[in-house]
Structure 1
Amino acid sequence: MTRAKKEQVCLDATPYYHCICRCVRRAFLCGDDKFTGQNFDHRKQWVVDKITTLSTIFTIDVCAYAVMSNHYHLVLKVDKDKADSLSDYDVVMRWKQLFNGHIMVDRWLTNKATTQAEKDKTLELIQVWRARLYDLGWYMRCLNESIAVQANKEDNCKGRFWEGRFKSQALLDETALLSCMVYVDLNPIRAAIAETPENSDFTSIQQRLKTVAKAGIKESKQAQPDNILPFTYYQPHSKQQIGLPFKLIDYFQLVEWTGRCIREDKRGSIPAHIKPIFERFMVNEQDWLETITAFNRHFIHAAGSPVNMAKWAVSTHRKWCATHRTLKLYKNVEH
């Protein structure tokens, strides 16, 4: 039975989620249409531009993204604490960037609310909007509806653009977060669309690399895009974690090495500078590569160690949490 998204998101377990959305019938509505010969790659930029805008409105940060021809991937971090810390005025200003608002709120903004009951009702409504600012469902709704409207207008048609609800996976620990981000960033390479991360268009890894290249040698270690959650490397997988719990250079090296290895003509031994990362997460080369090439087949609704998966199942009122086969990536990890 299909579960409501609110029953699949447990912020006490993790703030990190992998979201996937596909075009209707999985048609190439964002790439090359082989039947008409038309190219719709410009729609991929629509998605990138929209998630950039939404990151300034919602308190949901983008960790990684990849926009493909018939689907896209997002790795998101939900920041409930940030939403709770916003003033009522800030909540209203953010929400009104997306929707018209409400007449009572407009009166409250201009100090025209005449009764205490009206003021109380207004503040109650603002709290509803505050909760929506860290709601994964509302974030994805605002993203998908906007793209669908633009695409249908361009095609002069009506109807669905996306294949129903988005799919989400809870990322329950650092290993799951890291492997999922690499999996997302390497989507174009696995699909043989690009040969290197820097040539992987419409991905977060390309954007990060371009930012570093533009910054120059002296500032390259600190240069990170404004619209993507930065790497800070401290307090791993903590709800108070400001950025991603990895080093930027470590991530670049891991993506580069993994990208080479998933191409049969480039596979080789693991370099020395990658070993410390694997030692920290207690995984080996083969298990890592198997996970990256088939992340969605290894994990369904959540990704993490068996212990964390069991805890998440309880938190989301499940009897068990389904996975495909065994979690070999975690066979040596204890939580």
Structure 2
Amino acid sequence: MARTPRREVIDESSVGVFHCVNRCVRRAFLCGQDPVSGQDFDHRRAWIQRRMEFLAGEFGVEVLGFAVMSNHLHVILRTRPDVVAEWSDNDIALRWWNLFPLRREQDGSPAEPTEAELGMLLCDSKVLAERRQRLSSLSWFMRWLAEPIARRANKEDECTGRFWEGRYKCQPLLDEAALLACSVYVDLNPVRAGIAATPETSRHTSGYERIEASKVEIGTIRHSDTPNPEQAPRQDDWLSPIELDKQSERSTTRSARRASDRGYLSLDLTAYLKLLDWTGRQIRRGKRGSIPSDLALILERLQISADLWVNTVQNFRKLFHRAAGSPTTLAAEAARRGKRWLAGMQTSRECFAG
């Protein structure tokens, strides 16, 4: 099957949510314990996560979820050209410098630019406009995530050649039901693979980061009468918050670790983690128990089949291909691409009430 041109999948002028997958060459265990050679590359998972944290603070692309596996990476991204449009020219220049610095500190971090160096970045309005567009580009985010990791790994291995397979795979998530199912699917990847028993032991996933941050926050509240949220930033504050609160859609300050405070689901973190935990337990057991009533209500509100929920999460990538969403949103996406239909419509009718 021929690959769909990227320009048909991504409209860079509008906000979009995408599930991206990048796989290591030859499906080798280049980010984990290689069972053949016995070599341990697990430290590279931390490289990838730290790189995502850095990019989330510079790009107008928000990280909603991620999972770094032994031989592939899952990441859910939301492009925010609307936020980038509000950034000043000076802000664009400074962010671009941080991504492509002409000088670095001894530890490799970008050196502080001089006024003259910033002036060089600001002098050409046409180039500056192009860089503004690139700072909300999904392709540029994924490119600048993958390339430094590949160079660093090749240097460590004293070799040349590809670290990642061809271009990353990209799947638009068209509505909240698809986004919830994909988020749980991504967070439970280590559980599905049998390398973790629970979400709280699934290192290098967004679920793990949110759980650890919640533990710290609860501990801070219990041991301090006047907790100061500015004193110690949350471990997960580079990720987009879970709960969609329209009063918090503002752009954050220049020192923030993400583009905005906007959430993406109509449920809070506690409800999401409870659903994540319950689903993970069913996947580990290999058979589904009865879904708790409060979780069933969440699925009913989003018009997701509770009977098929575990199967939808466990086989998300097999069930949905070029896009994921309800029948209505899939039909709208097909029309936007100038097509009569998109693969997965029958699956969508079964998994989502539409």
TM-score > 0.5 by shorter chain: yes
Select 1:169's aligned residue among 157, 165, 171. Answer: 171
Contact 1:283 1:329 in 2 (8 A): no
Indicate the percent of aligned positions where both proteins have the same amino acid: 40
Contact 2:14 2:80 in 1 (8 A): no
- Distance in structure 2 (CA, Å) of the matches to 1:327 and 1:3: 20
Which segment is superposed worse, 180-189 or 224-233? 224-233
Matching of residue 7 in structure 1 with residue 4 in structure 2? no
Q: In structure 2, the residue corresponding to 1:97 is in which secondary structure?
A: helix
Contact 1:16 1:75 in 2 (8 A): yes
Deviation string 1:77-101 (CA, Å, 9 cap, x unpaired) is 1111111001111101101112257
- Distance in structure 2 (CA, Å) of the matches to 1:331 and 1:152: 43
Matching of residue 263 in structure 1 with residue 265 in structure 2? no
Question: Partner letter of residue 259 of structure 1?
Answer: G
Q: Which residue is 1:230 aligned to? A: 241
Contact 1:83 1:133 in 2 (8 A): yes
- Distance in structure 1 (CA, Å) of the matches to 2:121 and 2:204: 46
Select 1:242's aligned residue among 259, 262, 285. Answer: 262
Q: Which residue is 1:199 aligned to? A: 201
Deviation string 1:6-35 (CA, Å, 9 cap, x unpaired) is 321136775211000000111111111122
Which segment is superposed worse, 160-169 or 271-280? 271-280
Q: In structure 2, the residue corresponding to 1:65 is in which secondary structure?
A: strand
Contact 1:169 1:300 in 2 (8 A): yes
- Distance in structure 2 (CA, Å) of the matches to 1:329 and 1:173: 16
Question: Partner letter of residue 137 of structure 1?
Answer: S
Q: Which residue is 1:286 aligned to? A: 307
Q: Which residue is 2:43 aligned to? A: 42
Contact 1:23 1:70 in 2 (8 A): yes
Q: In structure 1, the residue corresponding to 2:159 is in which secondary structure?
A: coil
Structure 1 pair 2/41, CA: closer, same or farther in 2 (3 Å)?
same
Backbone CA RMSD of aligned residues? 2.7
- Distance in structure 1 (CA, Å) of the matches to 2:195 and 2:137: 33
Question: Partner letter of residue 159 of structure 2?
Answer: C
- Gapped runs of 5+ residues in structure 1? 114-118
Select 2:334's aligned residue among 313, 319, 323. Answer: 313
Residue 241 of structure 1 and its aligned partner are, at CA, apart by 8.3
Q: How do 1:14-29 residues align onto structure 2 when only pairs under 5 Å count?
A: 15-29=16-30
Contact 2:192 2:314 in 1 (8 A): yes
- Gapped runs of 5+ residues in structure 2? 103-114, 223-228, 251-259
Deviation string 1:42-87 (CA, Å, 9 cap, x unpaired) is 0011110000000011011111100000001001111111110011
Which segment is superposed worse, 282-291 or 86-95? 282-291
Matching of residue 254 in structure 1 with residue 271 in structure 2? no
Which segment is superposed worse, 240-249 or 61-70? 240-249
Contact 2:84 2:132 in 1 (8 A): yes
Q: Which residue is 1:89 aligned to? A: 90
Alignment size in residue pairs: 321
Q: Which residue is 1:51 aligned to? A: 52
Contact 2:65 2:205 in 1 (8 A): yes
Q: In structure 1, the residue corresponding to 2:18 is in which secondary structure?
A: strand
Select 1:184's aligned residue among 186, 189, 192. Answer: 186
Structure 1 pair 219/251, CA: closer, same or farther in 2 (3 Å)?
farther
Residue 224 of structure 1 and its aligned partner are, at CA, apart by 7.0
Residue 281 of structure 1 and its aligned partner are, at CA, apart by 1.5
- Distance in structure 1 (CA, Å) of the matches to 2:241 and 2:190: 22
- Distance in structure 1 (CA, Å) of the matches to 2:308 and 2:56: 34
Residue 108 of structure 1 and its aligned partner are, at CA, apart by 8.1
Question: Partner letter of residue 97 of structure 2?
Answer: K
Q: In structure 1, the residue corresponding to 2:343 is in which secondary structure?
A: coil
Question: Partner letter of residue 284 of structure 2?
Answer: R
Which segment is superposed worse, 276-285 or 298-307? 276-285
Structure 1 pair 255/91, CA: closer, same or farther in 2 (3 Å)?
same
Structure 1 pair 267/253, CA: closer, same or farther in 2 (3 Å)?
same
Question: Partner letter of residue 171 of structure 2?
Answer: Q
- Distance in structure 1 (CA, Å) of the matches to 2:328 and 2:67: 29
- Distance in structure 2 (CA, Å) of the matches to 1:199 and 1:331: 30
Q: Which residue is 1:147 aligned to? A: 149
Instruction: State the TM-score, normalizing by the size of structure 1.
Output: 0.88
Q: In structure 2, the residue corresponding to 1:56 is in which secondary structure?
A: helix
Residue 145 of structure 1 and its aligned partner are, at CA, apart by 0.2
Q: How do 1:201-220 residues align onto structure 2 when only pairs under 5 Å count?
A: 201-216=203-218, 219=221
- Distance in structure 2 (CA, Å) of the matches to 1:112 and 1:200: 42
Contact 2:305 2:352 in 1 (8 A): no
- Distance in structure 2 (CA, Å) of the matches to 1:218 and 1:107: 44
Residue 314 of structure 1 and its aligned partner are, at CA, apart by 2.2
Question: Partner letter of residue 89 of structure 2?
Answer: D
Q: Which residue is 1:80 aligned to? A: 81
